Structure formats: C-alpha cells, structure tokens
Amino acid sequence: MANQKEERHVISRRGFLKGMGTGAVATAILPELPSQSVEAEETTQEITEATITLHINGKDHKLTVEPRTTLLSALRDRLELTGTKQVCDRGTCGGCTVIVDGRTVYACMTLAIDMEGKNIRTIEGLAAGDELHPVQEAFIEKDALMCGFCTPGFVMSVAALLEGNPDPSLDEVKEGVSGNMCRCGTYPRVFEAALAAAQQMRGA
Amino acid sequence: MKNFEYFAPETTEEAIRLLDEHGEAAKPLAGGTDLLIFMRDQKITPDVIVDLKGINALSGIEELPDGSVQFGSLTPMQDLAVHPMMRERYPHFISSIREVGSIQVRNLATVGGNICNASPAADTPPTLLTLNAQVRLAGPRGERVIPLREFFVGPGQTALERDEVLTHVILPSPQPRSGGCYIKLANRQAMDIAFVGVSSYVVLDEDHTVVDARIALGAVAPTPLRVDAAETILQGQQLTKEVLSEAGEAAEAASRPITDHRASVEYRRMMVKVLTRRAVLRAAEKARNGNGR
Ligand code: FES
Ligand code: FES
C-alpha cells in the first residue's frame, strides 16, 4: 500500500490533486461542506472528495465535489444555478446544454472535476445585466416557448451556433439544435427565433 | 452513480501504469458520452476512473510521411468533422461522424471511445473498416499497430488488453477515383442508434470497372463487419444491376442480425441487401465524379 501511496505522489500535480484517494486529497474537504453529500445515500463506500474551482459566467466558484458529481449536479445542487435544466440526466434531451470553451455540451454528461480551468457559460450568464441576449429577445419576440422547460438548452445551442456561424441557413439552424428536444413542439418557432436573432446580431 | 477514485494522468505512460496497477477495478474514460451513462445505470461500476482527456499526446491530427493520416484517439469528433484536410480526404468518414448523436455529443465524444466501446451499432467503425484503418495500441509491453479489422472481438469486446490504451487511429491515404458512402437507418436523424449501417468504399478505373470495393456493416452482427464475399463479387466488374444485386445478397448472407425493439431480423436483413446496393452505387458515383472518397 505504501507503494500505491507513492504512486499518487509521482503522478502529475493535476493527477495528484484529482487522485481521489483517501489520503492527502480527502483532507482538502472544505469545512462548510454539508455533512452528507447529494448522492451519499446511494453508497456505503467511503466518500472521497476534492476541492475544485469552476469558472462559470466569468466568476470563480470553489466547491468540493465527489468524482461522480456531474457538472449539471454541481451547477444545480451546489451552486444554485438552476437555469440549466435536468430532464433526462442521460445525454438525450439537451435540457442541460451549457457552453464550455465555446462549445455546447450536455452538463449531465460531464464530470465537474473535469471542468476545472474551463470557461463555462450557462443561461444565467447570457444576459448583460438587465439587457437580454439577442437570442433570448428573439425567443420572446417569436414566442418560441410553451412550457419553457427546454428553452434554456435551446437558447444556449442557438447562441453557440451563432457565435460560430453568424448567418446560418435554416438547415444549419436545424442541425444546430438537433441535440435539443422540445416536448411541446416549439421547433418551428425556435427556428424562426434563431434566424431572427442571427439577423439582429449581424445588423447590430 | 457509484463513487470512484479519479485520476487524470498527463501522459500515456502514466495512464498505462494506473490501468496496470488497478487492474479490473479501473476503466479508462474518454469523452464519457457512453461510459458515464453506463455508470449512471450501474451497468459498469468501476472503482477507479483513469481520465485520458488530459493527455495532450492523444489529441490532434497529423499527416504521416507516407501520406496516411494519424489522429489521436481522444480528439473530439467535432474537431475531426470540421478539419479541412479530414473533410477533403475522408468525406464519408466525416459524414459517419456527423451521424453520431448531436453536436453536444460530438463535442465530447471521441473516435477512440466509439471504437473501444465496441458497440455493434456504432457509427464510425464500419466506415473506418472500409478505409482499412489501423489502430495504435500502447501498453506496458510497448506499442503495437493492428488493423481495425482485428480489433473487434464481440459486443463490447476488443483486442485491447486491460492495461493498454488505444492511442491513435491511422487512415491510409485515399486512392484516386475512389468514393465512399455511409448509410444509416434509424428512426430519427439525430440522437439515434442505427438499426442498420452500411459503409462502402469503391475505387474505379477509367472505364468505371471496379478496381477495389470494400463494404462494412454495422448493427447487424456481434461486431462491425467487413463483407469479403460481397467485395469479391464486385471486384473487376462493371456495376450492373445484376452485379449489385449479387453483392447485396452476399452482404445479407453475411449479416447475423438479431431482433430487438429497434427492428426485426427479417427487416434488418432485407435492409442490408438494399442499402449495400445503394451504398456501393453512391460510392461509385462519387468515385466517377472524383469529388468524394
Ligand atoms: S438532462 Fe442532460 S441531456 Fe437531458
Ligand atoms: S416548450 Fe415545453 S418542452 Fe419545449
């Protein structure tokens, strides 16, 4: 076992920090950590955690997570950024879409621990103060939501699409949001909103 | 999800050492778009995760001196999909990538992961098989390069040893007057799993005679499958209706599909026949136009 301990010390700093052993890293648990973690009841094994810093919407957030904590769970359950929706929690619906280093990903399919040092943007960070992002404006303008549960995900997908492609065709818009599902069937309005936002942003 | 120890090595050697040290308990993590779901469903419950994403040497695309292209197994699919050289040389591989999940999935998912999961229905393996792809495997005993054909052993089973890492995929350079095509049959255009996938690659001579034909099937056998019998039929032939039908029938005969909630054996077999014909024809068209391998 001494051997194993040593192994953790020889691996890189990043690897070491993230090595969720019961050794050095476990001592890094923050004092204000809630006594039981979110999923603690599911397991009997010793809980091991690490303190990480997530850069979200321009701000650093320090928090302690288990390796299994998804970015979605960290956002919603730990940082109270609940604009990112949990629907399927298995990478099929797009409700949890966030932008990481300029690319959309499903927050339910990424581990929070793997997001250190990355630039994470959520729906909460899209507006500039009281001024909505043009994509948000367009969704309102075109009435592109019904229940609205899928909307944050769609807005993030459209925002990311337009950042990479300011003048998308309808087909490109469709492809851009093909990883998002809407049970209310707002797709036609979403497409309209995306095209309207694109036009607005090009003109501005 | 059961908790686990997490390691993020920065070199392949470290990753191999960790996998070696933890043996059965450890699982390498690539994009995570499949593994994390399996873990969430407790289908796989590793005690140790070795995250490969921090290993820079496993990402990137480069041309080798012999004209083939090698890319890192951890390169996100989306990076391959937008890469000008990849699009120019291997358009049917790129179109196969674009069949995977959605943009959100492709931003995370890797071809290495797609291969190593060895799902019989995965989208990239049939096309990689038609391109005669090779895979580079690194382990404690050194490195080996094997044809992808020899890599798939069964559903979820591969030639990869527990302490080995698939580091790179090598694609031979495409031939002149070649064309390729991947046809996926699924219920939805995005975020769906193929119930039949057929990939083809055809090289023609000036008279449009088939110089080389390669056909691979997905979702209709325990592993992605090259169909030699169908390829032999096409070799040296003009692509007449009869020849195409014969090849389709040979592909159908080689398929060993199952019935599940996606499709029945009968339907899958029938579609293998039809889609093989269609995929070969489309590949040949591209070969003739010289605009898509
Ligand atoms: S909640 Fe993440 S994709 Fe559905
Ligand atoms: S508006 Fe209700 S799910 Fe999309």
The verdict on A26 touching B (C-beta cutoff 8 Å) is: no
Name the pLDDT band for A139 (thresholds 50, 70, 90).
very high
Contacts of B79 in chain A (CB under 8 A): none
Contacts of A36 in chain B (CB under 8 A): none
How many alpha carbons lie under 13 Å from residue A14 in its C-beta half-sphere? Answer: 17
For ligand 1, mutation pick of A76, A84, A92 (most atoms within 8 Å of CB):
A92
The verdict on A4 touching B (C-beta cutoff 8 Å) is: yes
Q: Is the separation of the CB atoms in A120 and A99 below 8 Å?
A: yes
In this complex, the residue of B10, B32, B107 whose CB is nearest that of residue A15 is B10
- Rounded to a whole number of angstroms, the distance from the CA of A122 to the nearest CA of chain B is 14
pLDDT tens-place string over residues B45-86: 999 999 999 999 999 999 999 999 999 999 999 999 999 999
Contacts of A7 in chain B (CB under 8 A): 17-18, 21
Name the pLDDT band for A48 (thresholds 50, 70, 90).
confident
What residue in B sits closest to A158 (Cα-Cα)? B103
pLDDT tens-place string over residues B130-179: 999 999 999 999 999 999 999 999 998 999 999 999 999 999 999 999 99
Which pair of structure tokens corresponds to residue B71?
């890319």
Contact A179/B190, CB-based, under 8 Å?
yes
**Domains in chain B, start-ordered, CATH in brackets?**
5-51 (3.30.43.10), 56-171 (3.30.465.10), 178-289 (3.30.390.50)
Contact A89/B104, CB-based, under 8 Å?
no
pTM: predicted TM-score of the whole model, two decimal places? 0.87
Average pLDDT over residues B201-211: 95
CATH of domain A126-203: 1.10.150.120
Residues B210, B153: Cα–Cα separation, whole Å: 30
Cα–Cα–Cα angle for B113, B162, B119, nearest 5°?
35
Tell me, using a 6 A CB cutoff, whether residue A106 lines ligand 1: yes
Higher pLDDT, residue A21 or B120: B120
Domain limits of chain A?
Answer: 1-48, 126-203
Higher pLDDT, residue A22 or B282: B282
Nearest partner of B2 among A21, A43, A114, judged by Cα? A43
Tell me, using a 6 A CB cutoff, whether residue A183 lines ligand 1: no
Selected residue of A114, A155, A162 to mutate for chain B interface (largest B Cβ count, 10 A): A114
What residue in A sits closest to B37 (Cα-Cα)? A90
Tell me, using a 6 A CB cutoff, whether residue A94 lines ligand 1: yes
Contact B21/A7, CB-based, under 8 Å?
yes
Q: Is the separation of the CB atoms in A145 and A186 below 8 Å?
A: yes
Residue A27: predicted pLDDT: 37
The verdict on B56 touching A (C-beta cutoff 8 Å) is: no
Contact B2/A11, CB-based, under 8 Å?
no
What residue in B sits closest to A154 (Cα-Cα)? B104
- Rounded to a whole number of angstroms, the distance from the CA of B72 to the nearest CA of chain A is 19
Contacts of A26 in chain B (CB under 8 A): none
Ligand 2 pocket (Cβ < 6 Å) reads A 145-150, 182-184, 186
Tell me, using a 6 A CB cutoff, whether residue A181 lines ligand 1: no
Sheet strands (E) in chain B: 5-7, 26-29, 48-51, 61-63, 69-72, 134-139, 142-147, 152-154, 157-158, 165-171, 178-185, 196-204, 210-218, 225-226
Q: Is the separation of the CB atoms in B283 and B202 below 8 Å?
A: yes
Which whole-number Å values give the CA distances from B174 to B67, B170, B231, B247, in the listed order? 9, 12, 17, 23
Three-state DSSP state, A103: strand
Percent of chain B with pLDDT over 90: 86
Least confident of A19-23, A98-102, B106-110, B239-243: A19-23
| Secondary structure letter of residue A133 according to DSSP | P
Residues A195, A179: Cα–Cα separation, whole Å: 18
Number of neighbours of residue B35 by Cβ within 10 angstroms: 21
Residue A192: predicted pLDDT: 98
Is a pLDDT exceeding 50 seen at residue A45? no
What residue in B sits closest to A26 (Cα-Cα)? B5
Selected residue of B3, B10, B33, B189 to mutate for chain A interface (largest A Cβ count, 10 A): B3
Say which residues have a Cβ less than 8 Å from residue B88's Cβ, sequence separation at least 6.
Answer: none
Q: Is the separation of the CB atoms in B13 and B139 below 8 Å?
A: no
